[in-house]
Amino acid sequence: MQNLAEGLVSNGAELIQLMLESPGHRFPEKADSNSPIHRIFIDTRIKPFHALVNLLGTESYHLTRFRQKSFRDGLLNLLKAEKFDVIQGEGLYTLGYLDDIRRHSKAFIVLRAHNVEHLIWERASRTSRNPALSFYLRLQSKRLKQEEYRIARAVDGMAVMSKEDL
């Protein structure tokens, strides 16, 4: 992601980065960048009670862990303060806010898909030795697949990392 940002800036693009930081995805305090960086930390750790309650709904728990008020507020503030030509979501989880982005920006929206996320969870469901966990992961994989396809159809463009992902 850093190489892409540097390449865009070195080729004349004006770039503003909004980074969603989580316990598993921290960024260096001093990132080498010639563009403004906004960082918002959210706690995406799995919470057993929330995972259990999620069974009563229809959304992917994997995505809901990334939808938090603090990040949404930061995103909306940035969309109100700046006009963007292109907004690129780095991975599926950053575009859980796609509807908000559409409401507050006329930018061309790109999903840079690092993986086909539902396939990762589908594989995990098949390899789990715990039947309850296998059931839960299979359900979450199906829900994530629906969301992944919805987001892929709703963006204006996609960049993928491999032919298999395409």
pLDDT tier for residue 29 given thresholds of 50, 70 and 90? low
Q: What is the per-residue DSSP string for 113-159? A: ESS-HHHHHHHHHHH-S-HHHHHHHHHHHHHHHHHHHHHHHHSSEEE
Q: What is the pLDDT of residues 34-66, one digit of tens each?
A: 678 888 999 999 999 999 999 999 999 999 999
Q: What is the pLDDT of residues 70-103, one digit of tens each?
A: 999 999 999 999 999 999 999 888 898 999 999 9
pTM: 0.85
